[in-house]
Chains A and B, each alone.
Chain A
């Protein structure tokens, strides 16, 4: 019995892991977005593919370009570049020129993530940063809403516009429900909002499918349920209060909930773990803050939609929120930060 002893490693306990990994969590979010992406294809046809595809290509290219040479391509495996591109694409108007979408994706990753130090270090949600960049740079294209396509292959000419050439805006532009509410006091029927038969960004039109994906993520424990729940509750309560004050002027709670990017933002963007508070109490504060800002911007601000800025502003407040919401340590008094 003279067998060689095995070469023993000295990994320190715990040796067991729960099995969820960061790339898997990121891929879960992509899977959760597939129904809404499918709806975008259904409503907007090929132009959805072109816009979203351009965003993803831009994001991936930025990730590869700015990686260290030795590890180039490795960071793609955590799927965050694709996810950022997809999320950005879903927030864009369907008729957006492809080159703008590409640029948005590139900026989202380079200025939204890489420059901060890569995954886990950025302060702002990269996809929303990319969108804010596009909105600031191309305000007209970003607020021109092409109507839903007639057939799958009907691509608006603006999609194919060459870089820096002024694209001909299509004759008919359809307004978003929020735009109609704000500028024409016209209310879109709720059923259209829920199922997505409205104008708007690619991914924000179907509240129902977005909710479905959110439930999947919640079941997989990939998202902090406190954030979407607190955003939704705040929006509902705040807008209900406003409706009580003046039902004519202010939108109803359900309208606020299902119009615009609220669902997309509340479920998929505000819950980005990197840019939202890590503490449970902080998540509540963050969600309430987003909800209040959304309504304030929508109702009293100059813009019809406020989800993007609401989330970006609360992103900026996240380190502060975390600092003051550390949990009470077991066996200690309340003020143990």
Chain B
């Protein structure tokens, strides 16, 4: 926000405004530049960014435009942490390669400083033309990615391992009560009908104690709210989704699971298990009695350097641009496993924030066209 806009940025913004049909771009840009107060300028910029995200999603033909690509968020962790009293950001740690996240510690008992997602939702609601889904970062993940600090679990009587487990529970239940439930209350009161709780951390702790804790935190989070809830989880450890599948039926009101699969799948066309190895974990959810919908990751969101056979798409720099046919085959296989095409949604594996807008646009177009092809093939 503090970086000045370059002339290149402005040219790019204008080009995308034309591409996306944002007719009042010039007026908004002038208004933004004329804003005297820094806070007003930031507010204008955030709303304009949201409009860009929404129009991008709408132009690709997506059935659900989310919140327009979370344009108002730093990223999924820090965005929340900065709104929580008692948390202090300590510094960056590596996520992978040259990607990092800013990690925080609980220095005292936590509580929400101010609404975190509400203004974004109000902006989206005002400007969107499609169905909305509000992704929020789940309490288990926020706790797991933070240092527990103040939440010590009683230092002396238990083993070091048990102390850590106790600390995590105290921290989690406070996060649910003090931050996440007030947030959901605000969103539901403002008209949110579908909230996606992002919990990528849960598949990293497949031990029963942690899974039980996750379920306890989830059920407390959604208790009493009249709203559709879904879970998004991605990039599990070696165990895949096997353990999550055992616990998914215990998640109250969780009627939809959005999961990453394309990352682990082959790139050849085909609707058999051999070609669609990446999607096999879907079976576990069925075996364990989960009967909700699936948001199936059909496009990769990270760098790609493998082989792309003819018909499956093409490589573009560090990206794979999946063809609609590859997306179609992934969806058809998923529908075959789940046994009901109506329960399958087509999604990117995760957020596309590390891709350029050109690449994002192309991937979402393929997602939409692939879904159309899958619907035709299922008729």
A and B part of one assembly: no
Interface of B with A (CB < 8 Å)?
none
